[in-house]
Amino acid sequence: MKELTCFKAYDIRGQLGEELNTDIAYRIGRAYAEFLQPKSVVLGGDVRETSEELKMALADGIMDAGFDVIDIGMTGTEEVYFAVQHLKVDGGIEVTASHNPIDYNGMKPVRQGSRPVSGDTGLLDIKRLAENMPSRSEELGARIEENKVTRGEYRKLSILSEYVEHLLTYVDVKNIKPLKLVVNSGNGAAGHVIDEVERLFVKHSVPISFVKIHHEPEPTFPNGIPNPILVENRAVTSKAVLESGADFGIAWDGDFDRCFLFDEKGQFIEGYYIVGLLAEAFLAKNKGEKVIHDPRLTWNTIEIADKMQGQAIQSKTGHAFIKERMRQEDAVYGGEMSAHHYFRDFGYCDSGMIPWLLVAELVCLKNKPLSKLVKERIEKFPSPGEINRKVNDAQATIQRIEAIYSKDALLIDKTDGISIEYQDWRFNLRASNTEPVIRLNLETRGDLELMKIKTEELLAEIEKEV
């Protein structure tokens, strides 16, 4: 078989048709099972029209390899993470394309303990095996001819109530005061979890009410692909917060492994400041512990960790790298400015549900609206947010920028792209792993004017022809 182009650095993702279809999914299932030799595998899938058929093709491949499948239904990625740990099985795969276009789908595989299976931990081995697997029809014919009956077993199982009960262990519900929250599932997979959370809130007399928008799962995403990191996708949540008088708003991407927060004024809060907020919350309860952060924006997180007598440790951007470093350091929390948040008690995995629960508790404990909880930090370390630019050669652009800006720098770091620091400002420039785009992040020590000047200056340099 020709090369499978759906295998990426951290997961499997491709355009439907030649790049990803049920035959390829079958081969991937067989290859995954033969590589990991898992006794049982948890499978889940998001709301996309093709997710169910791809999931069942995966299941056939895994069972044809002789291993059992536990299908937990329509889920977000973290429900698979939870199920793998809760059921103590050997692996799991979520079928999802997250925030990719409608004609895409993909898979996020993990092994025992919900450890990532990425490019350097087995994904390339699975790719090679899948490329040499027999097709689904060829395998069926061989089984009939040889009268093979060693297939694994298939069963369905719901772990929703256990998963949501676990979510509530991250907060003390006695701390919660009456709150109204806007929740925007983007017609993705988050809605059924919010409904179960709501049921448990009633059961435990937790005084949180929800204003639900784009709540029902819709495979065609009639209100657009759920991706709140895009500025144009934020207005609907912001408007709902203002119109309902909510205490804050939450929006998720398709598989809800990222959550995005809006304050009571409807203002979008950059993920960077939520990382600082959660780092402070965890270090307050876990003195002297470690938190992990990515290199893009750092000063706020480092200062908070120092203030709380904790330790901030930098990791390369990307969930596989963050999770690996968290395990190495036994860190209590990890956060990326892209709205991924990782938790030791959640198997070092990322969750889009735990963060908003923690923020709700913080708002109540500190008796301050969300805008005031982040205001001081935003003013102290202002940032324009991540800015993307298309370039012909990302690495050449990074080298050119490094040559210009490294001369008087106090610190140069190449953990991920190039980070250059001065006394009053710093920036990180890195290439996208998936598209011909370069990503700029910049922050200053409280100087908005300097932030604007340096952002414009760097963008002008990036956009120059090499």
Question: In this structure, are 154 and 221 located in the same domain?
Answer: no
In a domain, 227, yes or no: yes
Quote the CA–CA distance of 70 and 83 in Å, as a whole number.
Answer: 10
Please say which residue of 268, 291, 323 terminates a domain: 268
pLDDT tens profile 324-343: 999 999 999 999 999 999 99
34 and 102 fall within a common domain: yes
**Contact predicate 171/178, CB 8 Å:** no
Coil, helix or strand at residue 56: helix
Answer yes or no: is pLDDT of 111 > 80.
Answer: yes
Q: Of the residues 98, 315, 338, 419, which is catalytic? A: 98
Burial of 385: CB neighbours in 10 Å, binned 0-12, 13-18, 19+? middle
Phi/psi of residue 395, nearest 5 degrees: -65, -40
> pLDDT value at position 453?
98
Q: Is residue 66 part of a domain?
A: yes
User: Residue 251: beta bridge partners?
Assistant: 184, 260
What was the pLDDT predicted at 114?
97
343 in any annotated domain:
no
pLDDT of 466 reads: 46
Instruction: Identify the pLDDT of residue 62.
Output: 98
Residue indicated by tokens 């995954």: 32
26 and 60 Cβ atoms separated by less than 8 Å: yes
* Domain termination site, one of 247, 268, 289: 268
Is 4 contained in some domain? Answer: no
94 in the same domain as 24 = yes
Residue 9 confidence class, pLDDT cut points 50, 70, 90: confident
Q: What is the mean pLDDT of residues 126-139?
A: 87
Average predicted confidence (pLDDT) for the chain: 95
Mean per-residue pLDDT, 231-260: 97
Residue 300 banded pLDDT, cuts 50, 70, 90: very high
Q: What does the pLDDT look like over 51-67, one tens digit per residue?
A: 999 999 999 999 999 99
Q: What is the pLDDT of residues 267-282, one digit of tens each?
A: 999 999 999 999 999 9
Contact 139, 64 (CB under 8 A): yes
Range 102-121 average pLDDT: 95
What is the distance between the alpha carbons of residues 309 and 34, in angstroms, rounded to a whole number? Answer: 46
In this prediction, residue 223 carries a pLDDT of 96
* Unique residue bearing structure tokens 């290859």: 31
Look up the domain containing 149 and give its range.
Answer: 12-159
CATH code of residue 261: 3.40.120.10
Question: Among 239, 329, 236, 253, which Cα is nearest to 78's?
Answer: 253
> Is residue 142 very low, low, confident or very high in pLDDT (cuts 50, 70, 90)?
low
Query: What mean pLDDT do residues 203-212 have?
Result: 97
Q: Does 202 lie in the same domain as 149? A: no
- Please give the share of the chain, as a percent, with pLDDT higher than 70: 97
pLDDT tens-digit readout, 348-391: 999 999 999 999 999 999 999 999 999 999 999 999 999 999 99
Regarding whether 209 and 98 lie in a shared domain, the answer is no
CATH number at residue 393: 3.30.310.50
Angstrom CA distances, 410 to 18, 206, 311, 377, stand at: 49, 50, 21, 23
Domain boundary among 244, 268, 292: 268
Amino acid at 148: K
Q: Across the chain, how many H-helices and E-strands are there?
A: 15, 21
276 part of a folded domain: no
Same domain membership, residue 126 and residue 27: yes
Instruction: Evaluate if residue 239 carries a pLDDT over 50.
Output: yes
Query: What share of the chain in percent tops pLDDT 90?
Result: 91
Domain count of the fold of the chain: 3
* Statement to judge: residues 149 and 231 lie in one domain: no
Q: Is residue 15 predicted with pLDDT exceeding 90?
A: yes
pLDDT tens digit sequence for 147-201:
555 899 999 999 999 999 999 999 999 999 999 999 999 999 999 999 999 999 9
Is residue 152 located within the same domain as residue 236? Answer: no
Query: Residue 393's Cα: distance from chain center in Å?
Result: 27
How far is 344 from 342, CA to CA, in rounded Å?
7
Which pTM value belongs to this model? 0.94
Q: Position 303: which residue type?
A: E
> Do residues 193 and 154 share a domain?
no
57 located within any domain:
yes
Helix (H, G, I), strand (E, B) or coil at 298: coil
First CA to last CA distance, the chain: 39
Amino acid 74 reads M
Active-site annotation holds for 205: no
Q: Residues 27, 142: one domain?
A: yes
Q: Does the residue 350 lie in any domain?
A: no
What is the rounded CA–CA span in Å between residue 256 and residue 350?
Answer: 10
What per-residue confidence (pLDDT) applies to 435? Answer: 74
pLDDT of amino acid 460: 96
For 390, what's the count of Cα atoms within 13 Å in the CB-facing half-sphere?
A: 1
Shared domain check, 210 and 98: no
Specify if 290 maps to a domain: no
For residue 254, name the pLDDT band (cuts at 50, 70, 90). Answer: very high
State how beta strands 104-111 and 91-95 pair.
Answer: antiparallel
Specify whether 87 is located in the same domain as 218. no
> What is the mean predicted confidence (pLDDT) over 196-217?
97
